[in-house]
Amino acid sequence: MSKTIPVHVLPPIKNMWLRIPNGTQDGVTFTVAADGGIHVKGTSTSSTGRTDRGSIGETPLPAGQYTLSTANLPAGIIIFVSVTTGDKTEYIVIDTSITNLTSTFTVPENSTYQCKVGAKNGGPVDATVYPMLETGSEAHAYKPYA
């Protein structure tokens, strides 16, 4: 006697966060470590109230549901994804005002995205963040991105 048991194999979890370039601007240095963590150090002197560093160019993002998350987010640092569809841009932001450090959002057809890290004006920051962008509505533990 034999019995067939159906098994559903899930695709591997992939971090779709886009690499930001290393560099210093407005008094803040952004350095990407080998494991993909982004070290943010300095005091922002930006005239806009925050210094942002982001991925280069617009990268296509297939329609669907996505989750942006991070395990830790020190005061003064934010992470966000900007999604552009036509002439409309939406910002999915995680900062210390979000309790669970997770945000799920839906992307329409023909969209592009950029990933960014920001340091708010007002005080020095010196910390490493580990952003995770993945498909679906569940946040998983950090995996290095490409």
Tell me the pLDDT tens digit for each residue of 55-72.
Answer: 999 999 999 999 999 989
Instruction: Determine the residue type at 62.
Output: P
**Topology classification of domain 23-135:** Jelly Rolls (2.60.120)
Cβ neighbours around 103 below 10 Å, total: 17
Token couple for 128:
């490493």
CA 103 to chain centre: 10
Say yes or no to pLDDT of 146 above 80.
no
| 53's tokens | 């560093």
pLDDT single digits (tens) 70-100: 989 999 999 999 999 999 999 999 998 877 8
Residue boundaries of the structural domains of the chain: 23-135
Cα torsion for 134, 139, 143, 145, to the nearest 10°? 20
